Amino acid sequence: MVTLRDGKRNIVLIGFMGCGKTTIGRQLASRLDFGFTDTDALIEARIGGSIPEFFASQGESAFREIEHEVVSKVASLANQVIATGGGAVLRDDNRALLSSDNTVVWLTARPDVVVARTERRRGARPLLTTDEDPLERVLRILSIRGPLYQSIADVIIDTSDRPVHRAVGDIVRKCILPFRSGGSTK
Ligand code: S3P
């Protein structure tokens, strides 16, 4: 088992939809021999259905309440890579929970890359199903969220042109102490 720098417990991945939190998170967890926790998957297990259906029937604020309950639970785990939903940083209390004793990695991508990636599975993301121009919509949401992501980020990784394995390697280098049990510190 590896040790995170500064005695942190988990690696928390934050960032906009389409920046690779789940894909990179899974590979990172397997590389570190950490567990993988995905807040969206836990929310879907809790509501017994899909997030888009829940947004449509109960609305965004009901979703944010459940998201907050899930964030409260996962933030105190240990040895996990935790992938969060893109809007998990909107609440002050979530940001405090996520950044307390955890290394927070902000995955970014250029807005045009986000548009291209999210257009493929647009129906899976309720906030992106409006009639607004896709690039304008991403820029509008990013202008609100960018400073929130930035405020708790320990490490920032731009995934626009980075293959998944390179993003994983870069996160490992930045978050892990250069020591493995049984190995040398030199
Ligand atoms: C959301 C992002 C989604 C999901 C929900 C709301 C958001 O997760 O939590 O649709 O507000 O950005 P991903 O970032 O994993 O797509």
Ligand 1 geometric centre to CA of 103 (Å): 20
Tell me how far apart the alpha carbons of residues 73 and 112 are, in angstroms, rounded to a whole number: 34
Residue type at 92 in one-letter notation = D
Nearest-atom index, ligand 1, CA of 145:
12
Model-level pTM greater than 0.85? yes
Would the pLDDT of 163 be above 50? yes
CA of 85 to the centre of ligand 1 (A): 4
Q: Whose CA is nearest to atom 11 of ligand 1?
A: 87
Residues 109-146 pLDDT 10s: 999 999 999 988 777 888 888 788 999 999 999 999 99
Q: Measuring from each residue's beta carbon to the nearest atom of ligand 1, which residues come in under 6 Å?
A: 17, 21, 40, 51, 85-87, 125-127
Helices (H) and strands (E) in the chain, counts: 8, 7
175 pLDDT above the threshold of 70: yes
Q: What is residue 181's predicted lDDT score, i.e. its pLDDT?
A: 52
Please give the structure tokens belonging to residue 58. Answer: 């109960």
